[in-house]
Amino acid sequence: MPKTTIKVRTKRWDVFNRECKAASLRRDDFLDRALPGEIALLQSIPACDEEGERWLKKTWVEHGAMRDSQLHPVPILLSKNVIEQLNSACAEKRVPRDAFLDCVLTFFIERLYEAVIVIKNPRTTRDLMWQISDVLTDTREELTDRDRDGFIKEAVDEWCDARYLVPFCHDFYRDRLFFDAERVANEKSMLESLDIFRDDDPAPKIARLTHNDSDAGSQS
């Protein structure tokens, strides 16, 4: 397969590599098989206009990415067809390829989490499916359906509190990758209201904002 180079966040790439290794996945093979489904979702969002494209290019590294803005280039092997799909979709939507792949990696890391737990130990009781099954197969006569529903809700709530669920939202790519003049104006207005945007290049100001959020304990 041909090689292409992408720029990725150092910490996120390290986590993704660890997840693939723990799941006994060949990283590039997994990306080649899984990317077409994500590309199809990218193709379903509106295209950025010129102003939105410029804004996204300037801000995607800082946008929604507290604590991890260091990029480094990495080579990956993808089939020619997938590379063409990737390049075509990003050009059509006027989205930087690295920005899209950053979102993809965010989703993949979260999606692989449960699978990795099970693959490392198929008899684990830590995964959500096992916890729900444990409740549903409990044969104690004193356990009512209401009790079961309550235990399952507790398990799900605890799982939700521990996970970063935003990547599973249907509008995940649109929320992060679609910008037009109206949304850019709203973003600038928001930054101005926080007194951190005074020039044409928002990246340093956004970096300062995310640094402050990080200090306050916000989640990346």
- The tens digit of pLDDT for each residue in 84-129 reads 999 999 999 999 999 999 999 999 999 998 889 888 888 988 888 8
The domain in which residue 100 lies consists of: 3-187
What does the alpha-carbon distance between residue 115 and residue 32 come to, in Å, rounded to a whole number? 19
pLDDT of residue 28: 97
pLDDT of residue 203: 55
Q: Does the residue 197 lie in any domain?
A: no
What does the alpha-carbon distance between residue 96 and residue 87 come to, in Å, rounded to a whole number? 9
**What residue type is assigned to position 4 of the chain?**
T
pLDDT of residue 218: 38
pLDDT of residue 215: 45
How many domains is the chain built from?
Answer: 1
Residue 218 CA, distance from chain mean position: 16
Q: Is the pTM of this model over 0.85?
A: no
**pLDDT, tens digit, for every residue of 151-165?**
999 888 888 887 788
- Measured in degrees and rounded to the nearest 5, phi and psi for residue 69 equal -115, 5
Q: Does the residue 204 lie in any domain?
A: no
Q: Does the residue 194 lie in any domain?
A: no
pLDDT below 70 — which residues of the chain?
63-67, 195-220
Q: Does the residue 217 lie in any domain?
A: no
pLDDT of residue 213: 45
Q: Does the residue 9 lie in any domain?
A: yes
